[in-house]
Amino acid sequence: IFARFANVPCLDPSSPQESRDMILFAYDLSELFSTPVILRPTTRVCHGRGDVELGEINIQKREGKFTKDITRYVAVPSHARIQHKKLLDKIEKIREFVEDSNLNYTIPGEGKVGVIVIGASFNYLMESLQILGIKLPILKVGISHPLARNKVLSFIKDLEKVVIIEELEPVIENDVKILISENQLNLKLYGKTIFPRTGEFSTDLVTEILSKFFRIDFPKEQSKNIIVPNRAPLLCAGCPHRSTFYAIKKVTRGKAIFPSDIGCYTLGFSRPLQTVDTCISMGASFGVACGFAKSTKEPIVATLGDSTFFHAGIPPLINAKYNNSKIVAVILDNLTTAMTGHQPHPGTQLTALGEPAGSVSIEKLIAGMDIPVEVVDATDVKSIEEALKRGLQSEQVYVIVSRGPCVLLKGIEKRPIYRVEVSMCRACKACIKLSGCPALEFKDGHSSINPSVCTGCGLCAYICPVEAIIR
């Protein structure tokens, strides 16, 4: 949809190998036509595994040079009108170029019913056909925009029915409908009339739908009646965010608005922490908090991670200062971009290539905005609670940087782990119910700590009302 709106090419891989191949094709396409190219691997492709043949690696070392072109790069209205026509001409030239690309290919089959498929759904289709024991003509679309119309027409012209398998919106389906109408083809098309418009597809789903479509009975695997315990998404044992969220909930008694953001800390929405009320986009938490502050007198505690702060949290914080928004803005600084793989950010003293870099101090940056800010140790729950109380009493935006390294970071200091003194434990389960730490267990009538999971953060010891948890 975005590719069509912007009129740039979009490639849809279905496997790790195709992802590699399409990247190379995308660079060539970009260089040849001076255009951005979208590579659109879906979640299942990104999480997939497979052997990849790298082939020859072409390393080009060249110095960049900017060529002035005011009509192209200065987007005033008169230039935009010129560029719009050029863009439309360009996408048609790209369409001609991709007609013969092997990223769109056909697989021969039998009968007058063909399937057009895109992305990860290709894998589900191939497995489904094996299960059902049928062989259909298939057009595998690797380049979704611009669609290779001639190749599609060549595929569908002698068919009586076409089934289109694509997740979510009927993008390819709508393009094919236009082709059928323009060329007055007498065939029936089945897409979102039989496939869902929401959620991911799977082999089971595709098999079930195709079996009904072709009226084929197939033996469904009988699932064993196994009761699997619920496993809610949790922060890691010892995660510095857990103690911060615990302190927020304790100080506010849960009676506040908690805008948050995208990161590991989004998991603060689940029980028992329940200190995330909104999660929209990177940097939105502080902005949403500003909006709430103008329409309610409820206390507002917004949370946002360190990397997200650098990416998109600074402008809304300036907005909070400018508009005198009464919010407590908590920056959860775990010294990395944890959720996506520990990438560095401007506060980590490293570049993306792992080279030394100048770092930006979060607290100095905020102090430069003349906004009250204090830094607390994320494992010092008492200090976090006191800072929150000061923030909630403030009549302006108040920032707390709760700092503690991600427990998965390499090279962090190992802490002594905790254990439960069984003779003192009252079996109240406060440590489990209030922290939700996965290192805590309840068995044999008392709480216990799994030593292979505990990282020694000490939150459970702080919570325990009878001090039964010790190092």
Structure tokens at 407: 């427990």
Residue 299 to residue 187: CA distance in whole angstroms:
61
Predicted local distance difference test score (pLDDT) of residue 238: 94
Task: Give the residue range(s) of CATH 3.40.50.920 domains in the chain.
Answer: 105-214
Predicted local distance difference test score (pLDDT) of residue 464: 98
Predicted local distance difference test score (pLDDT) of residue 60: 83
Q: In what order do the strands lie in the sheet with 188-190?
A: 105-107, 138-141, 113-118, 161-165, 188-190
CATH classification (class only), 240-403: alpha beta
- Indicate the pLDDT class of residue 230, thresholds 50, 70 and 90: confident
Q: What is the DSSP letter of 358?
A: -
Q: How many CB atoms lie within 10 A of CB 58?
A: 7
pLDDT in tens, 59-89: 888 898 999 999 999 999 999 999 999 999 9
Which parts of 166-215 are beta strand (E)? Answer: 188-190
Q: How many CA atoms lie within 13 A of 302 on its CB side?
A: 33
Please give the average per-residue pLDDT across 7-35, as a whole number.
Answer: 96
pLDDT in tens, 147-175: 999 999 999 999 999 999 999 999 999 99
Please give the average per-residue pLDDT across 185-214, as a whole number.
Answer: 96
Predicted local distance difference test score (pLDDT) of residue 228: 78
Please give the average per-residue pLDDT across 95-122, as a whole number.
Answer: 96
Output the CATH code of domain 419-470. Answer: 3.30.70.20
Q: What is the DSSP letter of 259?
A: B
Q: Using the Cα atoms of residue 352, residue 353, residue 356 and residue 358 in order, give the sign of their dihedral.
A: negative
224 pLDDT more than 80: no
The answer to whether 179 and 149 have CB atoms below 8 angstroms apart is yes
The three state secondary structure string of 306-351 is: HHHHHHHHHHHHHHHHHCCCCCEEEEEECCCECCCCCECCCCCCEC
Predicted local distance difference test score (pLDDT) of residue 362: 98
Task: Give the residue range(s) of CATH 3.30.70.20 domains in the chain.
Answer: 419-470
pLDDT in tens, 234-284: 899 999 999 999 999 999 999 999 999 999 999 999 999 999 999 999 999
pLDDT in tens, 428-437: 999 999 999 9
pLDDT in tens, 391-425: 999 999 999 999 999 999 877 888 999 999 999 99
- Indicate the pLDDT class of residue 222, thresholds 50, 70 and 90: low
223 pLDDT more than 70: no
Please give the average per-residue pLDDT across 193-212, as a whole number.
Answer: 96
The pTM (predicted TM-score) of the whole model is 0.89
CATH classification (class only), 105-214: alpha beta
| Residue 296 identity (one-letter amino acid) | T
For Cα atoms 261, 263, 265, give the angle at the middle one, nearest 5 degrees. 80
Task: Give the residue range(s) of CATH 3.40.50.970 domains in the chain.
Answer: 240-403
Structure tokens at 331: 């920056």
Mean pLDDT for all residues in the chain: 95
Q: How many residues does the chain have?
A: 471
